[in-house]
């Protein structure tokens, strides 16, 4: 008799508290737990963007923060910066800028990114200084811990952890099979 591998489920499931890209009625949801300073997340980013373009409206994508602060000293602050930008309606734009500039995530550059995006930089700076979004980042991190995340990037497809390759072909195949189940 073979043992069945336990299924890791996303806790809580993708919902309204998440930053969402795509149709809320999509056949497939994909949640990434990531770290803006992680080189593997950086390598996955263009693949995820390409997958989103290919799958289109059949995919609802979200990103949750999982800063690995022991090895990435700027990751938590970068996650807070993404949330501060999100408070001004620019989460995804900041998300993309942070991944494009992984080697320059110090406070000076974060303020530069905010300026580039046309954000209210004083508000952005104040929110970072006061830790306004720290709890949101912590909630995402704890969601990852409860969901069995132990590294980045980690993906959940339809709220079930995906342990396969995040390379284009395998990921597209998995998303296609997941969309056929609905």
* Residue 114 neighbours by CB under 8 Å, 6+ apart: 81, 84, 85, 94, 121, 124, 125
In this predicted model, what pLDDT tens digit does every residue of 118-142 receive, in sequence order? Answer: 999 999 999 999 999 999 999 999 9
3 state DSSP class of 129: helix
Q: What does the pLDDT read at residue 148? A: 96
Answer for the pair 8, 161: CB distance below 8 angstroms, yes or no. Answer: yes
* Residue 72 neighbours by CB under 8 Å, 6+ apart: 35, 36, 37, 38
Q: How confident is the model at residue 179 (pLDDT cuts 50, 70, 90)?
A: confident
Question: At residue 49, does pLDDT exceed 80?
Answer: yes
In this predicted model, what pLDDT tens digit does every residue of 61-84 receive, in sequence order? Answer: 999 999 999 999 999 999 999 999
User: Which strands make up the sheet holding 28-34, listed edge to edge?
Assistant: 20-21, 59-65, 28-34, 154-157, 160-162
Domains of the chain, with CATH numbers? 20-176 (3.40.30.10)
Element (H, E) at 29: strand 28-34
- Whether the upstream peptide bond of residue 153 has omega within 30° of 0, thus cis, is yes
């Amino acid at each position: 008799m073979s043992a069945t591998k336990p299924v890791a489920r996303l806790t809580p499931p993708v919902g309204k508290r998440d930053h969402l890209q795509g149709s809320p009625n999509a056949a497939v949801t994909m949640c990434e737990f990531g770290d803006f300073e992680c080189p593997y997340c950086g390598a996955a980013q263009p693949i995820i963007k390409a997958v989103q373009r290919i799958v289109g409206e059949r995919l609802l994508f979200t990103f949750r923060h999982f800063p690995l602060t022991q090895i990435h000293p700027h990751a938590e602050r970068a996650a807070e910066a993404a949330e501060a930008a999100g408070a001004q309606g620019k989460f995804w734009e900041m998300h993309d800028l942070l991944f494009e500039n992984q080697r320059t995530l110090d406070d000076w550059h974060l303020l530069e990114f905010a300026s580039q995006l046309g954000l209210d930089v004083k508000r952005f700076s104040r929110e970072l200084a006061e830790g306004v979004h720290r709890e949101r980042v912590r909630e995402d991190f704890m969601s990852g811990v409860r969901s069995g995340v132990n590294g980045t990037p980690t993906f959940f497809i339809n709220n079930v952890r995906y342990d396969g390759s995040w390379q284009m072909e395998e990921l597209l195949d998995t998303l296609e099979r997941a969309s056929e189940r609905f």
